[in-house]
Amino acid sequence: MAAYDDLVSRDEPALLVARGSGWDGIGRGRRVVDLMEENAWSPAEVSMRGIWSSEAGRRRPAANQPVFDLGGRHVATPDLLDVAAGVAGEYDSDLHLARNQRRRDVEREDRYRSVGLEPVIMVTGDLADPWRFVGRLHAAYARAARTPVADRRWTVEQPPWWTPTQTVAQRRALTAEKRARWLRHRAAS
């Protein structure tokens, strides 16, 4: 979460680890750098990604990768996205049970399906019993596999009007005004 606050980029500890052969704990440092994600927005997303990759054995998904329709309109930014498979993962804590939030979540899921993405949801209870989520994840992959790539009506290619904020370097380069606008979701969470 240090990268979330733009305190450290992935390259910075990677450089330190590269210079530190023979140091105590350097093996752990290398593993941490390999697992580090600059665009994770919550600790629960990090846990979800670990379950997605380790327990479910799926490729590592992108974190908070914006998705656009083929006309360049923003569809949503899923917590996790397997671009190759077309599976979008969302972590819904208990906060997502509130009426207005639940309505927004249902609308977001509908937007995913309308462009050919297959959503899968992880809920708070899945952290204690991840195999339920793993089952839903495998089912989402199976459904997504039935959607031909040619039928996808979405892309991760960012239109010219979009301001990218996926990396620490991109966020550090923002002006204070742009940080307030493009990173306001961070202040709310």
174 in Cβ contact with 182 (< 8 Å): yes
- Residue 155 has a pLDDT of 97
31 in Cβ contact with 50 (< 8 Å): no
- The chain-wide mean pLDDT, for the chain, equals 87
47 in Cβ contact with 127 (< 8 Å): yes
By C-alpha distance, which of 132, 115, 106, 124 is closest to 47?
124
* 186 has pLDDT over 90: no
Assess if residue 153 is contained within a domain: yes
Assess if residue 22 is contained within a domain: no
Supply the range of the domain harboring residue 55: 41-164
pLDDT in tens, 37-58: 777 888 889 899 999 999 999 9
- What is the number of domains present in the chain? 1
- Residue 133 has a pLDDT of 95
Assess if residue 110 is contained within a domain: yes
- Residue 97 has a pLDDT of 65
Question: Can you tell me the mean pLDDT for 106-119?
Answer: 95
Assess if residue 173 is contained within a domain: no
pTM: 0.83
pLDDT in tens, 91-102: 986 565 667 778
